[in-house]
Amino acid sequence: MIFKVYYQENLTEVPVRENTHTLYVEAETEEEVRKGLKERAYNIEFVTPLSEKALAYEKESNVDFEVENLK
């Protein structure tokens, strides 16, 4: 399953929408995503699974679309 992760790059700063980044990750569960990204010290705001339609939209609308595999 592909998850879309919204995150801030700095753990010590208050989240600001304009500084939010996204990352696409292949994993089995949200817990696996969070554990896999723990070492990066991101301030993870939200993790959501992408449906097939949402995934197709992300691929079309995001030129830099890339899925990371945490395994």
pLDDT in tens, 18-51: 889 999 999 999 999 999 999 998 999 999 999 9
**CATH 2.60.40.10, domain 2-69, yes or no:** no
Kindly provide the b/e burial profile for residues 53-70, where b requires at least 16 CB atoms within 10 angstroms of the residue's own CB: eebeebeeeeeeeeebee
18: how many CB neighbours lie within 10 A of its CB?
A: 4
Q: In angstroms, rounded to a whole number, what is the distance separating the alpha carbons of residues 53 and 46?
A: 19
- pTM (predicted TM-score): 0.88
